[in-house]
Structure 1
Amino acid sequence: MDRPVISRGTPLTERADAARNRLLLLATTREMLAEHGADRLTMDDLAERAGLGKGTVYRRFRTRAGIFQALLDDDERAFQEQVLGGPPPLGPGATPLDRLIAYGQARIGFLIEHRDIARAALDGNRPVPAGSQTPISQTHIRMLLGQLDLGAPDPDILAVQLTGALDGPLLLYLSSDLTEPAAETGERVARSWQDLVRRICRP
C-alpha cells in the first residue's frame, strides 16, 4: 500500500507542451478562484487569462466542470503523497490506530477545504462529485484494519463502511449549513471520526 496511487485524471505519458499548458491552466484557475470564486469562472475567461486559445482549454477540460475535476485530481495527488510518504501519523511510522484516525481527519479536512471546487465539479453525467471516491481510501483503511487485527467477521465490508463516512457527498451535505462555518463543521466531523474509530477498535 505504501506506494504511489495513480489518480485518474492525467495520462501516464504527456507531451511536454501539453504538460506546460496543463500546469499553466491549473495555476491560472487557482488565481481566478482566489480573486472571484468558482461561480464566476468560465472557460473563455480562463483561456484569455492564460493566454491560450479557447480550443486548447476545451480540449484539455471539455466542460467547465472538467476544470474543477482537474483541480481536485491535482490536489488529490499531493494528498496521497502525504499519506504514502509524509510524516506520521498521517504517513508511515505511527501505530495503525493513530494512522487510521489521522487519515480520516485529514480526508475530512481535505474535502471540507475543497467543498466549493467539488460542488463546481458536479457534472450532469456524473452522479457524485469528482474526488468523492478515491482509490486510496478504501485500500488504505483496509490495510490499517488488517494491521490492527480486530478479528472483525468481514474487514472488507467494514473498510467499505468506514470509507462511506468520508464520502464527498456526505461532507458536502454537512458543510452546506450556512448557519455554521465550514471549518467548525469539519472539526465536529473530525472529532466524530476519532470517536467512531476508537469505538470500533476498542479491545
Structure 2
Amino acid sequence: MLAAANDLFAQADVSSVSVDDIAAAAHVGKGTIFRLFGSRDGLLDALWATKAQDLRDQVDNGPPPLGPGAPARTRAVAFLDAVLTFKLDNRNLLRAREAATSGLLQSEQYRWMRDLLAQTVTEAVPTLTAKDAEYLAHILLAAVHINLVDELLASGQTPSAIRRIQRAHVLAVLSSELS
C-alpha cells in the first residue's frame, strides 16, 4: 500500500490522489487502508516515516554535523539542510501531507523535527525557556514548509540558493540576542 501510494504521489497532482486510487493501485479494499492507517493523512504519515527513516538514523546515530556531537548551531544548520533536501526529493508527498487540513503539527514526523530543533536551539541559546525554544523550532521549520519552497523555486530560486539563504537565516536567528 505504501509503495502504491508512493508511486501515485510521485506521478500525479497530489490533490487528485484519493484513498480509492491508492486502494486500487495496491489491490486492496479501501477499508483495509482505513483499518491500517485510520485516514489518508495516516497513510501519508506512514509513508513519510518510511521515507524519512534514513534521515532519522543519520540524526540519531550518524557522524556530526548531522549526528550527535556537533556544536548546536552547526547541527541546526545541518538538520534543516537535510530536512530541506528531503523535502525537495519528496515534494509531492510533503505537499500532500503539509496541505492536509488536520494534524500536521501533531504528526510524529513533525513533532520529531520540532523536538530535535527545540533541543538544539536550547543548547545554542541556553537562556531561552523551553516554550521559547519550541516556538523558535516551529519558526525554523516554517521556513522549509513545502509551499514556501515551491513558491521560491517557481520564482526562479535554485535549491542551492534556498539552502544558502536558509543557512544564513538559521545562523542569524541563533546568533541574535534572544533573551
State the TM-score, normalized to the length of structure 2.
0.71
SS at the partner of 2:75? helix
**Gap change, CA 1:44 and 1:68, over 3 Å in 2:** same
Alignment-derived partner of residue 24 in structure 2 = 48
Following superposition, the deviation at residue 63 of structure 1 comes to 3.6
Following superposition, the deviation at residue 158 of structure 1 comes to 4.2
**Gap change, CA 1:186 and 1:59, over 3 Å in 2:** farther
Q: What are structure 2's unaligned runs of at least 5 residues?
A: none
What does residue range 10-25 of structure 1 map to in structure 2 within 5 Å?
25=1
8 Å CA contact 1:107, 1:166 repeated in 2: no
8 Å CA contact 2:143, 2:166 repeated in 1: no
8 Å CA contact 1:138, 1:163 repeated in 2: yes
Alignment-derived partner of residue 156 in structure 2 = 180
CA offsets, 1:102-138, max 9 Å, x none?
12222333345444323323444x1656759733334
Following superposition, the deviation at residue 29 of structure 1 comes to 1.5
**Gap change, CA 1:68 and 1:189, over 3 Å in 2:** farther
Q: What are structure 1's unaligned runs of at least 5 residues?
A: 1-24
8 Å CA contact 1:118, 1:131 repeated in 2: no
Following superposition, the deviation at residue 50 of structure 1 comes to 1.8
8 Å CA contact 1:101, 1:197 repeated in 2: no
Q: State which of 124, 133, 136 in structure 2 corresponds to 1:162.
A: 136
CA distance in 1, matches of 2:27, 2:63: 39
Following superposition, the deviation at residue 189 of structure 1 comes to 4.4
State the TM-score, normalized to the length of structure 1.
0.64
Alignment-derived partner of residue 6 in structure 1 = none
8 Å CA contact 2:122, 2:133 repeated in 1: no
8 Å CA contact 2:64, 2:75 repeated in 1: yes
1:97 aligns with 2:73: yes
**Gap change, CA 1:105 and 1:131, over 3 Å in 2:** farther
- Specify the code of the residue in structure 1 equivalent to 2:163: E
CA distance in 2, matches of 1:172, 1:34: 15
**Gap change, CA 1:43 and 1:67, over 3 Å in 2:** same
**Gap change, CA 1:174 and 1:123, over 3 Å in 2:** closer
Q: State which of 44, 47, 57 in structure 1 corresponds to 2:33.
A: 57
- Specify the code of the residue in structure 1 equivalent to 2:14: A
Residues paired across the two proteins, number:
174
SS at the partner of 2:14? coil
Alignment-derived partner of residue 9 in structure 2 = 33
CA distance in 2, matches of 1:129, 1:140: 14
Alignment-derived partner of residue 117 in structure 2 = 141
CA distance in 1, matches of 2:81, 2:108: 15
Q: Greater CA radius of gyration, 1 or 2?
A: 1
Alignment-derived partner of residue 196 in structure 1 = 172
Alignment-derived partner of residue 82 in structure 2 = 106
**Gap change, CA 1:176 and 1:54, over 3 Å in 2:** same
